[in-house]
Structure 1
Amino acid sequence: MSAIVRDAFTHEFDDIAKLLVEAYSEYASALTPENWQTMQTNLSKITEVAQQGRLIIAQLDRELVGAVVYCPPGTSDTRIFQPEWASLRMLAVSPQHRGQGIGAQLSSECIRRAKEDEAEIIGLHTSELMLPAIRMYERLGFDRDLVLPRRLGIQFWRYVLKLND
């Protein structure tokens, strides 16, 4: 069964913040307590994140099961991406709904929107902790192209998908 994927409503932001923290909490033990606190704080800033891009959610039977932020060209973090690129950030799927293709569905929606926005490339950044996500991104056609500076004590990489191929 595939999830319903749609733009989030403002009244859902608190629930989305809780989902993000829950989804990323498996990485808490790999971080120092201070770095986990920083990550939790960043994940909870949904209102700010929604202003930078479009917050997209996945629902199964009215239950929030996943979320991602799509950043159209011109809105991506220019410290990591070219200004004309689209990007996706903060992909999260609730732990009890993993392995059902929800992350791929949300990522594919971002790719679809990037093509619609005529972006030549969509990018993302991910870390050494997120091996299942990396495998999914590679299955979707993303290629690792840049080592990013370490943050929160962990290694990050940039991945890109060329959309005009």
Structure 2
Amino acid sequence: MEKHLILRNAHENERKIIRDITIEAYAEYQAVMPLDFWTRYRHNLIVTLDGEGTFDQIVVEQNGSIIGSVSLYPPAADSYKGAAISIPYPEVRHLAVLLQARGQGIGTVLMKECERRARETGAQAIGLHTAEVMQTAIRMYERLGFVRTPETDFQPSEGVVVLGYRHTF
């Protein structure tokens, strides 16, 4: 199969596809997150992906089908409603790749596109938040040059810490 990839901004009528890919991609964490946290997390994913906001929704398409997506928020956006953090650089959220497309570098392609776009705006760094259970993602982020920023960690519920990372250009 040819690996011809197209990176682009998502179209409005693709929200359901992006939401479905994201929920499927994140469902593997249901078994390792506290149930009440997973329920809220899943709900927040849906609300955020279906909502309006000032962010780029980037998709990667292969052979005419969307196989992955990521959200890129501008600096200091209130991307984590209720969390007392303000990030002074663009923030990556909701990186998701179809299960059958994993292992092909699609996540890396999406992350590099976020970095390219951030640099284009003059940003000196890019950030993200992740959970400790997302070890495959953490390995990719660290391979791409992201380092831990504990000062941007936050705790959305008892026993759950969301880990901050930053990549400086």
Question: Is the shorter-chain TM-score for this pair beyond 0.5, marking a shared fold?
Answer: yes
1:75 matched to which residue of 2? 77
Shift of 1:75: 2.8
1:162 matched to which residue of 2? 168
Letter in 2 for 1:47: D
1:9 aligned onto 2:14: no
- 1:39-89 C-alpha deviation (Å, 9 max, x unpaired): 1111112132x5131101111111221110011234354843433x11111
Matches within 5 A, 1:32-71: 32-45=34-47, 46-48=49-51, 51-71=53-73
Q: How many percent identity over aligned positions? A: 37
Q: Is the 8 A contact 1:58 1:66 kept in 2?
A: yes
Match of 2:121 among 117, 137, 151: 117
- Relative to structure 1, the CA distance from residue 123 to residue 12 in structure 2 (aligned partners, 3 Å threshold; closer, same or farther) is same
Shift of 1:3: 2.4
Q: Is the 8 A contact 1:76 1:87 kept in 2?
A: no
Letter in 2 for 1:99: G
* Distance in 2 between residues matched to 1:124 and 1:34, nearest whole Å: 23
Match of 2:92 among 82, 88, 93: 88
- Considering only aligned residues, what root-mean-square deviation do their CA atoms show, in Å? 1.8
TM (normalized to structure 2)? 0.87
* Distance in 2 between residues matched to 1:31 and 1:82, nearest whole Å: 25
1:98 aligned onto 2:99: no
- 1:96-151 C-alpha deviation (Å, 9 max, x unpaired): 11111010000100000000000111110111111111111111111112162333
Match of 1:129 among 128, 133, 144: 133
Aligned length: 161
Structure 1 unaligned residues grouped into runs of 5+: none
- Relative to structure 1, the CA distance from residue 93 to residue 60 in structure 2 (aligned partners, 3 Å threshold; closer, same or farther) is same
Structure 2 unaligned residues grouped into runs of 5+: none
TM (normalized to structure 1)? 0.88
Match of 1:31 among 30, 33, 36: 33
- Relative to structure 1, the CA distance from residue 162 to residue 2 in structure 2 (aligned partners, 3 Å threshold; closer, same or farther) is farther
